Amino acid sequence: MKNETTIQMSPIAKAERKDLPLRAGATVKVHLKIQEKGKTRNQVFEGLILSVKRGKGNGAMFTVRKVASGVGMEKIFPLYSPSIDKIEIVRQSKVGRSKLHFVRGNVAREVKRKMRHTKTGSTVPVQEEEAPEVSAE
């Protein structure tokens, strides 16, 4: 006797996702379905597509990078994942490469440049405290 298990996944529109013009340099909003305590909520991850891997086939994936509170975050999404509700393309930029991994280094360079211009010259940015005002009488 065979043990057969049935995996039921939410339906996705494969034709719609296959026709999406996902390319490196596009800014996208990925609407994710997240389950918490029996409830489902949507969460939006908006960022720049760094790369698209394996074309439009079954194993197609794309990498999205965003900066939140000064920290860079990257997520790799399967194109046909049932946990993705929808993918919106906000803007498409012209880029000369198919993989934009050099963007990570650009951010590090920007941070180093900002640190160079601090008054103390240290590697950690220092916030100056305001001195209390003294009234002259």
| CA 62 – CA 74 distance, rounded (Å) | 10
Q: How many CA atoms lie within 13 A of 47 on its CB side?
A: 21
Pair 47, 27: CB distance under 8 Å? yes
Domain coordinates in residue numbering, the chain: 14-116
CA angle 23, 29, 32 (to 5 degrees): 115
pLDDT of the chain along its 137 residues, tens only? 566 766 556 677 788 888 888 999 999 999 999 988 889 999 999 999 999 999 888 889 999 999 888 788 999 999 999 899 989 999 998 988 889 888 888 877 877 787 787 765 455 555 555 655 665 55
pLDDT recorded at residue 132: 58
pLDDT recorded at residue 2: 64
CATH number belonging to domain 14-116: 2.30.30.790
Cα pseudo-dihedral 45, 28, 108, 106, rounded to 10: 180
pLDDT recorded at residue 88: 93
Per DSSP, the three-state class of 85 is strand
pLDDT recorded at residue 129: 58
